[in-house]
Amino acid sequence: PYYCSTWSAEFRRWFKARRIPNAHMVDDWLTVGKTEAEARERMLTITQLFESCGFALATEKFEYGTKMVFLGVLIDSARMELRFESTQSKGMRIQLETYLHRITNGSEVDHSTIRHVCGKLNWFAEIVQSGRMHIRSWWAYEKYGSRMYPTTRNKLILDTQWWIDLLRSWENDHSL
């Protein structure tokens, strides 16, 4: 399928009533068609509905194709793959390498950073199911901090390395 994304508010139900598949987050919209022409036609209907309500869409920002980034997730319908785009993957990989260095050298990561990492890894695990197995140690770290068992700390190190390796593959634009 071909995809198109744009911005919006709460028009989803109107599009659903018109049988236009869509997803949105705040002002980013995504629709799909079997062909690019069908995606464009659906986007035109969405645009016309917004305009009939007095909203103008920045049509120059519309993107069409079989491969696009929507809300940070790279959707590739030609290869039937989902992954996080490379810049975001690289940023998180660098962060995790910093935290891994601290943890392996006996330092601690502050609690708010740990919570951020837990949330971010949870989001990444939405794309790769095996990621769920590799976030539990971060949640244990969030709960127990420096008081966690040595075996759990070792698991945290292994899990963090697993995420670093996966993020590096996404960073280099490789499939899951």
Q: Find the mean pLDDT for residues 22-45.
A: 84
Distance between CA atoms of 47 and 58, rounded to whole angstroms?
A: 9
pLDDT at 176: 46
- pTM beyond 0.75: the answer is no
Q: Find the mean pLDDT for residues 126-147.
A: 93
User: What are residue 89's phi and psi, to 5 degrees?
Assistant: -65, -45
Residue type, 38: E
Mean pLDDT over each residue of the chain, to the nearest integer: 87
Q: Find the mean pLDDT for residues 34-61.
A: 87
Listed in sequence order, the DSSP H helices in the chain are: 12-17, 36-52, 86-104, 111-124, 136-144, 150-171
pLDDT at 174: 60
Any residues with CB less than 8 A from the CB of 2 and at least 6 apart, and which? 32, 33, 34, 35, 36, 38, 39, 40, 64, 65, 66, 77
Q: With bands split at pLDDT 50, 70 and 90, how would you rate the model's confidence at 17?
A: confident
